[in-house]
Structure 1
Amino acid sequence: MSGGRRTSLVSLANQKVEDVPGRSDAILLSLPLEKLHCTRFNPRRNFGTDDELKEFGEKLKKEQLQPAVVVSRAGYLKLWPDEADRVGQAAYVIANGERRYRASQLAGRTVLEVIHREDVAKSRAHFLDAVQSENNDRQDLDPIERAIAIETMVTELEGADRVAAYYGKTKGWVSQQRKLLKLAPELQELVSAGEMPVRVARDIAGLPADVQAAAWDEHLERRRLEKEAGARLREQAANQPAPATTPAPAPASPDPEQPPRFTAVNQTPARESPEPAEEPTRGVRFTAVNPQPEPRPTQNPVPDDAVPTEGKEPRADVIPEPREALGEPAELTSLKRFPYDNGTEAGMLLLHKMPPEDRATVYEMLGKDPETQAACCR
């Protein structure tokens, strides 16, 4: 078993326990409390109330499942000779199990089961690590107690570098653990009680001691305002009426008179019958992907062969009848077809349709004087 690790007492009962090589094997001991002394290097400060400890001591009277770990007085004083007066006449110093020792005292229990592990005292680092190991493994130490433990290691090993090397950590990690001890004592108590978050505590610990309390008050005020603002927003959201939802209209039955609507994904409406349907009387709506409908024929379509081409006579019977126009001569409006067979009438009709400036140009080309032009235009 490594120094300071938790061990089941049942598994060790009446069994030899490995000791430091070269020494006689140690066994599980039941020692009177007056032969035991607690080390001052235990970082734990919160052991519980007296009532809690007494209740724990009553449980230990029935059965102690976890033994304490001790070293001899001589081995301990070899590491710290100045501790002789503090240890007094106690034969053993407790490395792990101070809470069990205190609980036994309050419950009137006179003995404590321990394991003597002298190898724990082979160096200061080993002993201090054993003191911390049980608490750290069980996460019983609060942040301030852990900071005290690291600070004690730095002091006793004479340097943060040695502590960092022992734990395989960086020097920055050691400094980070110790930083909480720069807090004012009253703020350290808040951290131990869990009322001040460690992250906030480390930030405040970097401030001068005379402004730390004010910084904590400012943090609390800011948090209070944030909570109030959040509560108001939640209240407003709760009191705000939910937006009215309009149910989606039921699909309308198809209207036989309504022309189909083509979309980009439905270009041609499905036909139930192979027979072509009649063209709708109403206009069909087309989208960007639908072809435009063919233009409807005019009332008086002009076939291609009605236009005179070279070597071909036009079809006079299909020329549209002239519409009556305001101010046109009666002889012109009574014509039924264009007089292709009478050049004079055709020319007069064309001249009459021309604008005055174009008509003057034609007369100029024909050599007519203005009086003749006026007579022709009457």
Structure 2
Amino acid sequence: MKAADRLGPGGAFGAISRTPRSERGRAKAQAEGAIPDYEIQRLPLNRVALCPMNPRRYYGTEEQREALGQSLAKKQTTACVAVTRAAYLALWPNHVRLIGEEAEFVLLNGERRHRSASQVGLEVLDFVVRDDLATSPADFMDYLMAENEDREDFNIIERAMGLEQLLKACDGNAAEVARRRGRDRSWVGNQILLLTLPSAIQDRLATGEMAERYGRRLARAYKDDKSLTTDGLLALEEQLKEEERAKRIAQRDALKMLSADNIPAPAARPAVAEPSQASVLSADNTTHETEPGRGVAPAAVAASAPEMLSADNTGRPAAPRDEDAGAPVPDRQEPVDRPAETQQAPLPRQTPAPDPTPVPTARQLVQALGATVDEQAATLRAGLDSDGFLALVEVLHAHV
């Protein structure tokens, strides 16, 4: 913003006296470079008409305007913007009565300051006259929208009204409106469609009682069925809210499924036991613990296990015990071939029982998060911290 757009050290009322230059003196000063193309002028408020094209309707409470007016009486930090009467009527010649016979300027930016100053009895404010912003109706309305859109109290319906006026100024070219506002055509159409809703619904949107996303859905439904009443539209809003609640519950359930504690770990393969002296396999395939203090005592195992199974499950004579060291040892006998039906069958390999809890696939987990990528991302953001997100990545990688 140029320095001439702001008030300098002399911005406080009464600090200096600003008198408008004559047209000839102004033109000469501009040609010589003594002043910019526009300069701050102190204008009487009764000579500046409020803009009929301004879509803004709410300017704060009376108490808020009173406080702003008292602040302006001490110091005005930003000049208002206006255009000359001739420049405005060149765009809207049928607004002669709307701006009045006495108005020499039409306000373009600063209506809240104008109203607040008038409320506390101020007679003048600082202005910048910018006829270069009134070269076309589209430029004028585009500037109005740019000034209002960033204001917190510029509500949804006011914005829709401004877009509708800008669309008219652009001869109905929605693509041009979208280009000027940095949006797409569908957004422009959905905003303007809100103005077709019954006034009671528009009031709820303007005050924030109804969310804009519901307003857009209701406007599309009302466009398709003009027989819908206000009560019918409010019932549809409740239905949409209930659908969203059900969706949020489903998303929370999906997050529970994605929790690391609720996903069964892959079953570990049974380890092959190494042969050791701590475990003796008896003839009935029963393992006896031989660790002191656990299971059967070593002596009991030796007494109850006359045979040890070899690797091929063939019975071998038991080794002599310490207490039998003095007894004669019989001659070693060669193994006798037994009939096939009496030979010990190989031990069957036991497989682990299947886990009764099914493991969801990656596709099922992703679908449980939401129908679209945006919904899935929102679900993850709402329910996972950084550690949970890393755990989720590992789980999805393992199940892809």
TM range (shorter): 0.5 to 0.7
CA distance in 2 between partners of 1:123 and 1:31 (Å): 25
TM-score, normalising length from structure 1? 0.58
Task: Tell whether 2:218 aligns with 1:211.
Answer: no
Q: Which residue of 2 aligns with 1:367?
A: none
Give the drift of 1:164: 3.1
C-alpha distance 184-295 of structure 1, shift in aligned 2 (>3 A): same
- Contact conserved, 2:218 with 2:233, CA < 8 A, in 1? yes
TM-score, normalising length from structure 2? 0.55
C-alpha distance 64-146 of structure 1, shift in aligned 2 (>3 A): same
C-alpha distance 29-85 of structure 1, shift in aligned 2 (>3 A): same
Task: Identify unmatched segments of 5+ residues in structure 1.
Answer: 231-262, 272-276, 285-289, 308-378
Higher radius of gyration, 1 or 2:
1
Instruction: Give the secondary-structure state (helix, strand or coil) at the position aligned to 1:154.
Output: helix
C-alpha distance 305-85 of structure 1, shift in aligned 2 (>3 A): closer
Q: Which residue of 1 aligns with 2:215?
A: 201
| Higher deviation after alignment, 209-218 or 173-182 | 209-218
Q: Which residue of 2 aligns with 1:108?
A: 121
CA distance in 1 between partners of 2:218 and 2:62 (Å): 33
Task: Tell whether 2:76 aligns with 1:69.
Answer: no
Q: Which residue of 2 aligns with 1:331?
A: none
Give the drift of 1:201: 0.6
Give the drift of 1:28: 0.7
Task: Tell whether 2:90 aligns with 1:54.
Answer: no
Number of residues of Structure 1 aligned to a counterpart in Structure 2 = 261
C-alpha distance 267-306 of structure 1, shift in aligned 2 (>3 A): closer
CA distance in 2 between partners of 1:180 and 1:304 (Å): 101
CA deviation string 1:213-253 (max 9, x = no partner): 2121343377589989x9xxxxxxxxxxxxxxxxxxxxxxx
Instruction: Give the secondary-structure state (helix, strand or coil) at the position aligned to 2:150.
Output: helix
- Contact conserved, 2:5 with 2:128, CA < 8 A, in 1? no
Give the drift of 1:141: 1.5
Task: Identify unmatched segments of 5+ residues in structure 2.
Answer: 21-25, 249-269, 279-290, 303-309, 319-328, 338-400
Structure 1 counterpart of 2:7, which letter?
L
- Contact conserved, 1:57 with 1:107, CA < 8 A, in 2? yes
Structure 2 counterpart of 1:9, which letter?
L
C-alpha distance 268-119 of structure 1, shift in aligned 2 (>3 A): farther
- Contact conserved, 1:183 with 1:212, CA < 8 A, in 2? no
Task: Tell whether 2:43 aligns with 1:31.
Answer: yes
- Contact conserved, 2:65 with 2:116, CA < 8 A, in 1? yes
Written as runs of structure 1 = structure 2, the 5 A alignment for 1:1-378 is: 1=1, 7-10=5-8, 25-88=37-100, 89-161=102-174, 162-167=176-181, 169-206=183-220, 207=222, 208-213=225-230, 214-220=232-238, 223=241, 264=271, 267=274, 280-283=298-301, 295-297=315-317, 303-304=333-334
- Contact conserved, 2:5 with 2:40, CA < 8 A, in 1? no
Give the drift of 1:31: 1.0
Structure 2 counterpart of 1:34, which letter?
N
C-alpha distance 113-270 of structure 1, shift in aligned 2 (>3 A): farther
Percent of aligned positions with the same letter in both sequences?
30
CA distance in 2 between partners of 1:59 and 1:181 (Å): 36
C-alpha distance 225-50 of structure 1, shift in aligned 2 (>3 A): same
CA distance in 1 between partners of 2:188 and 2:10 (Å): 36
CA distance in 2 between partners of 1:40 and 1:146 (Å): 15
Q: Which residue of 2 aligns with 1:356?
A: none
Instruction: Give the secondary-structure state (helix, strand or coil) at the position aligned to 1:26.
Output: coil
Instruction: Give the secondary-structure state (helix, strand or coil) at the position aligned to 1:9.
Output: coil
| Higher deviation after alignment, 82-91 or 133-142 | 133-142
Give the drift of 1:265: 8.0
Q: What is the Cα-based RMSD across aligned positions, in Å?
A: 4.3
